[in-house]
Structure 1
Amino acid sequence: MLIEEAIEFYKEQVKSSFESLTEKESEIQKMEQEQKESISGIQEESHNLQSQITSQFAELHQILTDKEQRLLGDVREEEEKIIKSMEKNLQGIQENLKSIQEELSKLQEQTDHKNSLIFLKTYS
């Protein structure tokens, strides 16, 4: 009888330990599932944030590219205006220089005359 009681006693202890471990296993499996869901949620949030950042930077790049093109166009337009004005001034300067050179040439011809009377007539 003592052996059967001892067996029954140990069976109860094993059964109690089994139930306790089964509960712990269930709790740990629940914690495992929650942790996996948290990891999955964080990964999804991270991917969404990365996509949002990429999209926003693409928009900013486009805005900056558009602004760059407008500014480059403005600079080219201003360059053309300035160069046209400067070329017009250059043309005036060249005409003035040509006129002065022609006048110098005439004066040189007059001073080169050997005949003083012709020089005096031309000069007066």
Structure 2
Amino acid sequence: MSRPTPALSGQAADARAQLPEEAHSGFDRLVHAVLATPGASRRPALGAALRSQLPGTAGVRWLHAEGLSPTSRAGDLTAAHWLSLHEAWLANQQAPRAGSRESGHGPRADSRHGHAAGAQAIPRYY
């Protein structure tokens, strides 16, 4: 059973209002993932929050392009920042990942010869 997502407020809500209706669910997922914290009393640095949302160095590149420090907080983002982050997130969600399958897991080991996919045992000549 899924929980309803809380309503957005502030700059994130302003940015959401500028998006088309079909983009709202993805934007909501992004915002709630960035704002989610293990402890309710503290907000993580934006660099750490983006690590799970933008693969590789995409989060750092986005922060640099927007002129933000990795230690800045999500509450510091303007509506324009949220829209730009959403565009970067969409671009990275559609990018193919190396070794990924449709189910989202990495490559499956080929157990026919007991090694990982593509690996072969060293032949032994006696």
TM-score by length of 2: 0.20
Larger Rg: 1
Higher normalized helix content (fraction of residues): 1
